[in-house]
Structure 1
Amino acid sequence: MKSKAVLSQTEVQQILKAARSEAQNNQWAVSIAIVDDGGHPLALERLDECAPISAYIATEKARTSALGRRESKGYEDMVNGGRHAFLSAPLLTSLEGGVPIIVDGQVIGAIGVSGVTSVQDAQVAKAGAHSLK
């Protein structure tokens, strides 16, 4: 039987704080979603002046990353590379900004960010995901 780490609210708050700090330092209004390894929500924060739709998109980016065990950018790259069938895949959003949270080589959750450009979303998400290291 294998063992793996599980996100507690302590780690979730640490990840959220790091992502929020990255966004605020750049004056970016974003939504930040954190999910467990099954894509189930653990935290959602929408910063002031961020569009309401971003909360939905951030959550789907996080779910995509957790369930796919990779950054959501990989799916965006596939679609942009001509694999348009991924647009119809269930529970997936093919947009950059979802990043897996990896501990000891295992995905234990993911963070999704939406509200600015996809590259900026990913920058905020990576700041959160890498805060556990």
Structure 2
Amino acid sequence: MRLSDAMTMMDAALAEARRRGVSVCISIVDQAAWPMAFIRMDNAPLGVIDVACKKARTAALFHMDSADFARIGHPGGGAYTLENTNGGLTSFGGGLVLKGADGSVLGGIGVSGASTEDDIDIARIAAQTLTA
């Protein structure tokens, strides 16, 4: 992923968060889960900084959205406690895997600070800029 791609996604995510009237943190990582871009909007709770970063890491490292990761990482799931690996992951919505036109994993985006549904929608709108 190029920095210009990350910044375009960041702009789209910020615009959507503002449109919805929510304050969030947005984290964008490359395919190895290294940071590309991060922002904390005014009034976003400090606790969601780490959550946004872990959502993005989860999506990039496991090639799946964090909401899908939740299906295997819950008690009784096939990979319960997996979120305790890789420096910390998370198993609820708001982290999306970012893929190129050829299906290759480019990285992940994590949004946190609003409702889970809003976090997912904001991340989706940002991710759509990769195919635009």
Given the two structures, how large is their TM-score scaled by the length of structure 2?
0.89
Once the two structures are superposed, the pairs formed by residues 13-32 of structure 1 within 5 Å of their partners are: 13-32=7-26
Q: Determine the structure 2 residue equivalent to 1:111.
A: 109
Gaps of 5+ in 2: none
Query: In the alignment, is residue 86 of structure 1 matched against residue 85 of structure 2?
Result: no
Checking the alignment, whether the CA contact within 8 Å between 2:29 and 2:107 is kept in structure 1 is yes
Structure 2 letter corresponding to 1:122: I
Among 113, 127, 130, the alignment partner of 2:128 is 130
Distance 2:20 2:28 in 1: 20
Please give the secondary structure, in 2, of the residue aligned with 1:123: helix
Distance 1:19 1:85, change over 3 A: same
Structure 1 letter corresponding to 2:99: I
Q: CA deviation at 1:78?
A: 2.6
Distance 1:132 1:50 in 2: 26
Q: Percent identity?
A: 31
Structure 2 letter corresponding to 1:95: F
Matched pairs, number:
127
Structure 1 letter corresponding to 2:25: S
Distance 1:10 1:88 in 2: 32
Please give the secondary structure, in 1, of the residue aligned with 2:107: strand
The answer to which of 30-39 and 93-102 deviates more is: 93-102
Q: CA deviation at 1:66?
A: 0.2
Among 92, 99, 102, the alignment partner of 1:102 is 99
RMSD: 1.5
Among 6, 10, 34, the alignment partner of 2:4 is 10
Gaps of 5+ in 1: 1-6
Checking the alignment, whether the CA contact within 8 Å between 2:74 and 2:81 is kept in structure 1 is no
Given the two structures, how large is their TM-score scaled by the length of structure 1?
0.88
